Structure formats: structure tokens, C-alpha cells
């Protein structure tokens, strides 16, 4: 099954580049820049990754991001992720970055973007991995700060596919960013938003109605509003779900309790993603495998989840069709144990 999942062509649509910062790279960059981290070994860092909720994770995640300082650091971070993605059979990525966690430390926006972009182009050349970049606003910061960040990004908008919304959800509803998203959409950018991870189902509805997002990141709490689930089904709005993340952040006690399989069986366009794999104990394939082993997903359901990942992507229709055919070919010639 592991080999079947590895060989299955897949897209990853919910991945925070800062969340791919493995302890070894964090320690190397801390030494390079003479920055003190709270722990000095890989084992100690890993051991500290025990979270009680979203905020306890964000505190550690945002603090660790401080070791990223120059263009080479952002390049190294992104390159390492793409190498891993390639080894897992990922052929297309739509990745988030959090410019504000760097610009607020006086790292230039172009330093962050330049390093990431160089690695994405290399990943395309070396591994054939296509990509889209999604600029996330930190929702615990003000709307005015988000607007300033958007202004910094607009001269480079050809390199950015969409805007997104991450960080602390509770108390920071979609309405707070309605103007920023309107401006971004007016400039031709697409939109996504984290909603319904720790926030209520109404945040999912507001992300759709007020921010006019193309898809919802997480969205697990949509089930608290049956009419919303009907709408997600009817309008085929994708949810980018992250099972291992949700268990680590105590959204569900166990993968066996996750609602991704139930929503898939309802006919929703749900997808599997890894969110912050350096912190949550697995990359994309480990998430697929957990859904198979702990939630009992069948091979047909795993294939449907992979199909959904392309359908939900920002790829143009001909490329989506090409990958869906590639999945059909793969399934036809690959026996499942
Ligand atoms: N939720 C909100 N903010 C985040 C996440 C998440 O899962 N990962 C990184 N920033
Ligand atoms: Zn996320």
C-alpha cells in the first residue's frame, strides 16, 4: 500500500513552507546566523513539538521561522521540501508562505520571495514539479498590516497565484480581511483561506461569501452546519484537509475520528495534505497512509482523494485532465495488495 500511494500522482495544496523547517536545518541556520534556539539538539527540538492546540503550535512555528534570514535560507527550505515531495510522488504543489513573519523582522519581501521562487523554478526543471505560490496573511495581525503586505507583493504579482489567511483563527473572522481580499481579487489574484479548523462553521461560510475564496483550508468544522455541508457539496467547493495536523493540534483525538472519509463518501471534493510536516509527524504520504490504515479508506477512496487534489488545484483544465488520465493509467497497471 505504501508503494501504491508513493506511485500515485498527487498534488499538495495545503503546505506552509515555514512548516517544512526540519530541526536539522533549523539548527544549521541558527548556527549560521548565531541565533539562540530554545533547544540545541534535533532530539530536544523534536521533543518540544507537543501541542495542546493551534496557538501552542503557532508560538513554536513562528519562533523557529526566525532562523530564516537570507535568500539562500528560503531557497534551502523550499528545495528540501521539493526534494521530499518528489520522493513521495507529488507532481504539483501549491505552497503557502507567511511574508509577515519575516518582514516584521526587517527581512525584505524580495529576499523571501526570491529564495522561494528560485527553488520552485529549480524544482520544475529538476523534478518536473509544477507550482503555484500562495501569499498568506497572518490573521492575528491587523487588516492594515495585511494591506501593506499586499502592496509590497503587487509588483511581483506575476509570481503569486493567490492570497490566503492563516495563523490564529478564533477571534479573527474572515470579515476582518474583506477589503484586503477584495483588493487582491481586483488585481487578478485567486483566494483561499483557513477556516473551520479552530473557528466555527460560520467562518467557512463567511470565507466563501465575504472573501470569495476558491477553496477552504481545513474546513473540518463545516459539519456543525448541515446546510453548509450541502452547499459545499452542491457548489463542489474543495476542502484541503490535513489529518495528521488535526490530530497533533487536538482537533480530533485520533485519525480514526477524522471526518475526511465521511465527507468524501458524501461526495465533497476533499483532499489530503500535510500542512506543517516538520512539526506534525509526516509528509503527504504519511497522511494518505494514516487515512488508509487508521480510518480504513479503500484503495478506490485514496485514488479519489488524489483525483480531487488535481480537480481542486489552480492548474488549467488541460493539465488537470492530463493528470487525471495519468492516475487512470497508473491504477490500470498497478495491482493493489
Ligand atoms: N492553521 C493556521 N495557521 C497555520 C497553520 C494551520 O494549520 N499552519 C501554519 N500556520
Ligand atoms: Zn495550514
Q: Which atom of ligand 1 is nearest to the CA of 218?
A: 7
> Cell 534570514 appears where?
69
Q: What is the mean pLDDT of the chain?
A: 97
Q: Which atom of ligand 1 is nearest to the CA of 16?
A: 9
For the Cβ of 271 lying below 6 angstroms from any atom of ligand 1, the answer is no
Q: State pLDDT tens for residues 281-311.
A: 999 999 999 999 999 999 999 999 999 999 9
Residue nearest to atom 4 of ligand 1 (CA): 167
Residue nearest to atom 10 of ligand 1 (CA): 167
For the Cβ of 149 lying below 6 angstroms from any atom of ligand 1, the answer is no
Distance CA 194, CA 198 (A): 9
For the Cβ of 65 lying below 6 angstroms from any atom of ligand 1, the answer is no
- Taking phi over 0 as left and psi of -120 to 50 as alpha, with beta for the rest, 89 belongs to left
Ligand 2 ion: nearby residues, β-carbon < 5 Å: 275
For every residue of 293-325, DSSP letters joined together read HTT---HHHHHHHHHHHHHTSSS-HHHHHHHHH
Q: Which atom of ligand 1 is nearest to the CA of 249?
A: 7
Question: Is 80 exceeded by the pLDDT of residue 154?
Answer: yes
**The pLDDT value given to residue 107:** 98
Question: Is 90 exceeded by the pLDDT of residue 152?
Answer: yes
97 and 120 Cβ atoms separated by less than 8 Å: no
Distance CA 123, CA 86 (A): 9
Distance CA 4, CA 276 (A): 23
197 belongs to the catalytic site: yes
- Taking phi over 0 as left and psi of -120 to 50 as alpha, with beta for the rest, 14 belongs to beta
**Banded model confidence at residue 335, pLDDT cuts 50, 70, 90:** confident
Pocket test for ligand 1, best of 194, 243, 249 (most atoms within 8 A of CB): 194
For the Cβ of 139 lying below 6 angstroms from any atom of ligand 1, the answer is no
Distance CA 94, CA 275 (A): 11
For the Cβ of 166 lying below 6 angstroms from any atom of ligand 1, the answer is yes
For the Cβ of 18 lying below 6 angstroms from any atom of ligand 1, the answer is no
Quote the strand ranges of the chain, DSSP E. Answer: 10-16, 90-97, 130-138, 162-166, 190-195, 215-218, 239-241, 270-272
**Banded model confidence at residue 127, pLDDT cuts 50, 70, 90:** very high
Amino acid at each position: 500500500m505504501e508503494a501504491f500511494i508513493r506511485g500515485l500522482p498527487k498534488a499538495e495544496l495545503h503546505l506552509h513552507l515555514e512548516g517544512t523547517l526540519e530541526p536539522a536545518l533549523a539548527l544549521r541556520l541558527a548556527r549560521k546566523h548565531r541565533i539562540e534556539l530554545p533547544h540545541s539538539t534535533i532530539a530536544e527540538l523534536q521533543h518540544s513539538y507537543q501541542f495542546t492546540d493551534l496557538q501552542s503550535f503557532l508560538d513554536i512555528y513562528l519562533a523557529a521561522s526566525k532562523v530564516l534570514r537570507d535568500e539562500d535560507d528560503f531557497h534551502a527550505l523550499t528545495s528540501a521540501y521539493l526534494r521530499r515531495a518528489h520522493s513521495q510522488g507529488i507532481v504539483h504543489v501549491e505552497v503557502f508562505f507567511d511574508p509577515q513573519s519575516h518582514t516584521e523582522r526587517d527581512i525584505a519581501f524580495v529576499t523571501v520571495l526570491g529564495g522561494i521562487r528560485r527553488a520552485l523554478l529549480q524544482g520544475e526543471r529538476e523534478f518536473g514539479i509544477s507550482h503555484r505560490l500562495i501569499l498568506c496573511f497572518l490573521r492575528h495581525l491587523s487588516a492594515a498590516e495585511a494591506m501593506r503586505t499586499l502592496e509590497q507583493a503587487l509588483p511581483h504579482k506575476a509570481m503569486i497565484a493567490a492570497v490566503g489567511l492563516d495563523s490564529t483563527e478564533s477571534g479573527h473572522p474572515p470579515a476582518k480581511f474583506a477589503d484586503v481580499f477584495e483588493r487582491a481579487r481586483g488585481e487578478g489574484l485567486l483566494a483561499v483561506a483557513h477556516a473551520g479548523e479552530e473557528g466555527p462553521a460560520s467562518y467557512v461560510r463567511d470565507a466563501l461569501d465575504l472573501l470569495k475564496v476558491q477553496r477552504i483550508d481545513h474546513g473540518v468544522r463545516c459539519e456543525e452546519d448541515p446546510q453548509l455541508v450541502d452547499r459545499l457539496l452542491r457548489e463542489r467547493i474543495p476542502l484541503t484537509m490535513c489529518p495528521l495536523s488535526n490530530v497533533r493540534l487536538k482537533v480530533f483525538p485520533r485519525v480514526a475520528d477524522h471526518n475526511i472519509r465521511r465527507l468524501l463518501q458524501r461526495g465533497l471534493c476533499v483532499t489530503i495534505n500535510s500542512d506543517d510536516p516538520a512539526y506534525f509527524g509526516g509528509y503527504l504520504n504519511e497522511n494518505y497512509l494514516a487515512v488508509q490504515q487508521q480510518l480504513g479508506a479503500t484503495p478506490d477512496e485514496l485514488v479519489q482523494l488524489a483525483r480531487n487534489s488535481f480537480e481542486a488545484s489552480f492548474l488549467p483544465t488541460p493539465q488537470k485532465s492530463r493528470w487525471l488520465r495519468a492516475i487512470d493509467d497508473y491504477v490500470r497497471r498497478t495491482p493493489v495488495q
